Amino acid sequence: MTPGSYACALHDELGLAAIPQLASSDTREASTLWALSGAQYLTGAAHGPALPCPAPLASCAQGAWLALAALGAGALDHTFPAYQLLGERAATHGLQRRGAVAAGGACRLLDCADGQLAVNLPRVDDWQLLPAWLECPADSWATVAQALLERSCAPLVARARLLGLAVAPSAPPTALRDWFKAVRLARAATPPRRPPLVIDLSTLWAGPLSAHLLGQLGARVIKVESAARPDGARAGPPPFFDLLNANKQSVVLDLGSTSGQHQLQQLLADADIVIESARPRALEHMGIQATDMVRAGSGRVWLSITGYGRDAPMREWVAFGDDAGVAAGLSWLLREASGYTVFCGDAIADPLTGLHAALLAWAAWTQGGGVLLDVSLYGVLARCIAAGSRKGQAVPVPEILPPYARPAAGSAAALGIHTAEVLLEFGIR
C-alpha cells in the first residue's frame, strides 16, 4: 500500500472523480515513510530500538494529504511531507519514546488479570475519579497499577466509560464496515464562489488540525472557545498551538450563560462548515442539535470528531489519541511483531484523524454539503490498519529520523481578541 494507492482508495470511497495520475504520485514504501515520520523514533522501549509499525500509518497520512491536495485546486503542495505531521507534537514538546508509558506521559499500558489496559489520565478531574472507578483509594500510578492486577479488563473498561475516563483494552484490530458516517440531512446546494466560513469549536489536536488544513485550502476559520474552559492546548508549548491555530480568528463566549449559548447558536447559523470534537451531549445540553443545524443551513457541513462515534452507547465514551490507538489494535500488533509492550508514536490517532477529517469535510463541501460527518479516532485508525500490514521480509529503511515540526505561519491569536469585531460583523448581540 503506497500513499498514491491509498489516496485513490479514499477518493473512491468518497465518490470523487478518479484522477489517473494520483496512484503514481507517490509510490514510496510504508516502512520508509514511517522511518522518516518521527513516529518510529517515538515507538519502542525507552532504551530499546525504535520499532517499525506493522500498519502503514505514515503512508495513510501521506495518502490522505494527496487526496486532499487533489481537491484543493493547487492550494496545497502535493509533495509536502504530511507523514511528518505524526511527530509534530513530540517535536514541539521535546518528547521521547517511553515504552509502556505514552510519549506525552498521561497514558500507560497496565496489566490486568486477563490482559492489558491503556489508562489515560490527562485531566485533574480524571485523577479525582479514580477511587470511584477502582472502588479503593488511588492517587498514584503505582496504586492504580496494583489495583488492576487482580481484576478483569471488561468490567474495568465498562465502569471507566460510565465515569467518563479514557480507558481501553489492548486488543487485536477489528474490521469496521464503515470508518466514518455521512448522514444526509438536507439537499446538496451549489457551493458559493467565496471560500467557506469554518467555525472551529474543537480542541487539542485532531479537530484544530482539520480546521488548520481547511484554512490552508482558503477557508476563513474562526476558533470559538469557552471562557470557562478554553482549548487545553493553550497551556502547552506555544509553538504547537501556533502551528495549529495561527491565521484563525479567536472568539471567546460565556457558554455557561444563556446569552453566550444564544450567541454561539447565531454564529453557527452563519457557518458553512462546523468542526467540533466534544461528546454530542456537550452541545445538546446548550440546546444545539447538529442535525437541526445541518437541516437549517444551505449546504452546511457539520464535522463531528469523537473517540468512538456518535451512536449509542459509544457516543459517551471518552478517548484521546494514545488510548484510541491501543483500542484500535496498534499496541497488540506491535507486541505480536516485536515482543515489546509499547505505544505507537505519540497520540497517533490525532494527526491521522485530523488529516482524514479535513478531507471528508472539504469533499462534502465541494459536493454541496447538507451532511453530518461522524468521524472517530477509533474509526480512522481501524481504516488505516485495514489498509494493509507488512508481511514477510522487512524492506530496508533510511535513517530513522527524530520528530520534526514545521515553522508556524505566525503566532496564534490571543484568546478572544476578535470577539467584539466578529459579533459585530454577524450582527450578534
Containing structural domain, residue 266: 180-312+408-425
What's the mean pLDDT when you consider all of the chain? 95
Strand partners, 183: 372
Domain membership of residue 233 (yes or no) is yes
Residue 192 — pLDDT band, cuts 50, 70, 90?
A: confident
In a domain, 263, yes or no: yes
Q: Which of 130, 111, 107, 129 is nearest to 119 (CA)?
A: 107
Query: What domain count does the chain have?
Result: 1
Domain presence at residue 221: yes
Q: Which of the 8 DSSP states describes residue 195?
A: P
The Cα 342–Cα 109 span in angstroms is: 8
Rounded to the nearest 5 percent, the helix, strand and coil shares of the chain are 40, 15, 45
Residue 185 in domain = yes
Place of cell 499500558: 109
The cell for 427 is 450582527
Residue 361, in any domain of the structure = no
For the domain that residue 196 is a member of, what is the CATH number? 3.40.50.10540
As a whole number of angstroms, the distance between CA 298 and CA 370 comes to 7
pLDDT band at 394 (very low <50, low <70, confident <90, very high): low
DSSP state of 11: H
List pLDDT tens digits, range 102-157.
999 999 999 999 999 999 999 999 999 999 999 999 999 999 999 999 999 999 99
> Which segment of 62-66, 315-319, 397-401, 413-417 scores lowest on mean pLDDT?
397-401
| Res. 398: pLDDT tops 80 | no
CA distance 136 to 151: 13
Where on the phi/psi map is residue 164: left (φ > 0), alpha (ψ -120 to 50), or beta? left
Residue 295 lies in a domain: yes
Residue at 243 is within a domain: yes
pLDDT computed for residue 389 by the predictor: 65
Task: Give the DSSP H or E segment for 350.
Answer: helix 349-366
Examine residue 271 and state whether it is found in any structural domain, yes or no: yes
| CA-wise closest residue to 88 among 411, 414, 354 | 354
